[in-house]
Amino acid sequence: MTIHKFEHPLNEKTRIYLRVETLLRQMHQSSSFIDSQQYQLFFRSIFDMLEIFEQIQIKSELAKDLEKQRQAYRSWLNVEGVNQAMLQEVLAEVDVTHKALMQTERIGQSLKEDRFLSTIRQRFNLPGGSCCFDLPALHYWLHLPNEQRTRDAQRWMDTLKPLSNALNLWLKLTRETGHFKPQIARAGFFQSDAEEANILRLAIPIHFGAYPMISGHKNRFAIKFMSFETGLAYSQDIDFDLAVCS
C-alpha cells in the first residue's frame, strides 16, 4: 500500500524550522552539480535561507528550544524503567550540539559577506535572472572544474553545519515524542485537542485520493480532507495514522 506522508507545524517557529530543514536538504542534494541545472536549486536554497535568517534570530531561538529539550530529558535521570545509558547518550549529544551552535557566528553572516554570493544574489531573484548576460560572474563560475565548484559548495555548506546539526537534532527529538495511532476522519473531517504540540504527522493511504488541509495551534487542530481530483471537500470516511509531537 502506498502511503502519503504529511507534516504540519502548529506554531510559526516550527513552520520556519521545517522550511529551513527542507532548504538544507535541497542544498545538500544539489551540491554535487552532476546535473547541469542543479546549481539553480543549490543557490536558490541558500538565498531563500538568507531571507529567512534576516526575519528571525534562528540561532537564539533554536538554542532556547534545545535547552528546553535538555531540561525535559534531564527530568528522566534516575527514573526507574528509563534506559539511563540511552538517556545519557541523548543528553551528551544535546550538550555537544548546543555548545557548537552557541560558538558559531551569526547564522548566515559569512554567506552574506561572501563576495561571489553577494554578486549573484540580487539578480538571481529575477525571473530568468541567471542568464549569462545578467550574471556573468555566475556564468564564469559554472565553467570552472567541477572539483572547484563542489569545493566552494562544501565551504558554504560548512558555515551552516552547526545550524543543520542543531535543527536536525531538535526535529528528531520532537518527532520522536509522537507515536502514530490509527484515526478515522468521518466524512473527511477530524478534529482533536493537543497539549503544547509542535508538529502533526499524518500517514494517509494514497488510494483515498485525498490530501489534508489543516488549521489550528498548539492546543487544538482540525483536519479537512480534500479530493485531489475535484478540489472539493472529501465526503467519505478516511482511515489514517496520526502522531502529535510536542
How would residue 166 be classed by pLDDT, with cut points 50, 70 and 90? very high
Tell me, yes or no, whether 126 and 26 share the same domain. yes
pLDDT for the residue numbered 130: 81
Alpha helices (H) in 133-214, listed in sequence order: 136-142, 146-158, 161-175
Domain boundary among 174, 194, 225: 174
Tell me, yes or no, whether 187 and 152 share the same domain. no
Residue 5 covered by a domain = no
Backbone angles phi, psi at 214, to 5 degrees: -120, 135
Tell me which residue of 164, 28, 64 sits closest to 107, measured CA to CA. 164
Residue 2 covered by a domain = no
Domain boundary among 134, 154, 174: 174
Q: Which residues contact 131 (CB under 8 A, 6 or more apart)?
A: none
Rounded Cα–Cα distance for residues 17 and 86 (Å): 26
Tell me, yes or no, whether 154 and 237 share the same domain. no
- For the chain, the average pLDDT equals 95
Tell me, yes or no, whether 166 and 73 share the same domain. yes
Tell me which residue of 64, 61, 174, 168 sits closest to 107, measured CA to CA. 61
Residue 31's Cβ-count burial label (10 Å; 0-12, 13-18, 19+) is buried
Rounded Cα–Cα distance for residues 211 and 121 (Å): 35
CA distances from 1 to 4, 46, 186, 205 (A): 10, 36, 21, 7
Tell me, yes or no, whether 129 and 16 share the same domain. yes
Domain boundary among 154, 174, 194: 174
Q: What CATH number corresponds to the domain at position 68?
A: 1.10.3900.10
Tell me, yes or no, whether 170 and 206 share the same domain. no
Angle at 60 between CA 57 and CA 65, to 5 degrees: 120
Residue 7 covered by a domain = no
Predicted confidence (pLDDT) at residue 147 exceeds the cutoff of 90 = yes
Tell me, yes or no, whether 185 and 168 share the same domain. no
Q: What is the average pLDDT across 222-245?
A: 97
Predicted confidence (pLDDT) at residue 61 exceeds the cutoff of 90 = yes
Q: Write out pLDDT tens, residues 183-210.
A: 999 999 999 998 889 999 999 999 999 9
What's the domain count of the chain? 2
CA distances from 31 to 3, 27, 42, 131 (A): 29, 6, 6, 20
Residue 7 CB coordination number (10 Å): 16
Q: What is the average pLDDT across 213-221?
A: 91
Tell me, yes or no, whether 31 and 128 share the same domain. yes
Q: What CATH number corresponds to the domain at position 199?
A: 2.60.440.10
Predicted confidence (pLDDT) at residue 229 exceeds the cutoff of 90 = yes
pLDDT for the residue numbered 205: 97
Backbone angles phi, psi at 98, to 5 degrees: -65, -45
pLDDT for the residue numbered 126: 83
Domain that holds residue 226: 179-245
pLDDT for the residue numbered 210: 98
Q: Write out pLDDT tens, residues 25-55.
A: 999 999 999 888 999 999 999 999 999 999 9
Rounded Cα–Cα distance for residues 202 and 208 (Å): 14
123 or 232: whose pLDDT is higher? 232
Tell me, yes or no, whether 99 and 68 share the same domain. yes
Residue 1 covered by a domain = no
Tell me, yes or no, whether 78 and 19 share the same domain. yes
Residue 142 covered by a domain = yes
Tell me, yes or no, whether 155 and 69 share the same domain. yes
All three cell numbers of 169, joined, read 537534532
Tell me which residue of 237, 219, 208 sits closest to 2, measured CA to CA. 208
Q: Write out pLDDT tens, residues 84-99.
A: 999 999 999 999 999 9
Tell me, yes or no, whether 113 and 24 share the same domain. yes
Rounded Cα–Cα distance for residues 127 and 69 (Å): 42
Tell me which residue of 37, 55, 47, 51 sits closest to 120, measured CA to CA. 47
Predicted TM-score (pTM) of the model is 0.95
Residue 236 covered by a domain = yes
Residue 16 covered by a domain = yes
Residue 101 CB coordination number (10 Å): 22
Residue 3 covered by a domain = no
